[in-house]
């Protein structure tokens, strides 16, 4: 199994799904890079985060740090109840209406219906690693700005 998983998701449109032609071109682009990659498009929204440590998430309204346990519970509740279709929450710190995706995440995170995952044993090198070099190519192929999320196993 790979040590690192690189996920590319749309940077600012969680419901974006490329056309089947674009997905086919994307698969052709990815094949030489990795023997284990997967493209998911059109299913339910999924959460992409950088690992299992959820410290440092902050409330966008009062700036307080959000309790990690509260956040994990809300993530699970919303996932089970509506598959991230309705992410409205009441902030635990200042009791204001907000949304799970609008919290301030200190690390790359996001929700998406479309994702490209690549497994690799290489440690992330954010200046010229293969995944970083792939980012603009993926963006060009699908026609959307994307962001990269790295998970370590």
For binding to Zn ion (CB under 5 A), which residues are involved?
Answer: 59, 61-62, 91, 93-94
Helix %, strand %, coil % for the chain, to 5? 25, 25, 45
Distance between CA atoms of residues 68 and 74, nearest Å:
10
Indicate the residue among 3 and 62 with the shorter CB distance to Zn ion.
62
Are residues 50 and 107 in contact, defined by beta-carbon separation less than 8 angstroms?
A: yes
Closest separation in Å from C-beta 52 to Zn ion: 24
Closest separation in Å from C-beta 73 to Zn ion: 17
Indicate the residue among 3 and 94 with the shorter CB distance to Zn ion.
94
**Crossing angle, helix 20-30 and helix 130-142, to 10 degrees?**
160
Closest separation in Å from C-beta 60 to Zn ion: 8
Indicate the residue among 64 and 140 with the shorter CB distance to Zn ion.
64
């Amino acid at each position: 199994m790979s040590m690192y998983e690189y996920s590319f998701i749309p940077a600012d449109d969680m419901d974006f799904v490329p056309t089947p032609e674009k997905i086919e071109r994307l698969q052709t682009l990815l094949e030489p890079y990795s023997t284990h990659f997967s493209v998911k498009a059109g299913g339910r929204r999924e959460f992409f985060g950088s690992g299992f440590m959820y410290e440092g998430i902050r409330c966008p309204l009062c700036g307080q740090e959000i309790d990690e346990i509260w956040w994990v519970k809300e993530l699970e509740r919303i996932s089970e109840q509506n598959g991230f279709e309705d992410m409205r929450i009441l902030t635990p710190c200042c009791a204001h209406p907000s949304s799970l995706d609008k919290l301030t995440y200190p690390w790359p995170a996001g929700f998406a219906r479309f994702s490209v995952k690549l497994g690799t044993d290489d440690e992330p090198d954010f200046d010229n690693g293969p995944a970083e070099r792939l980012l603009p190519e993926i963006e060009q192929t699908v026609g959307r700005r994307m962001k990269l999320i790295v998970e370590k196993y």
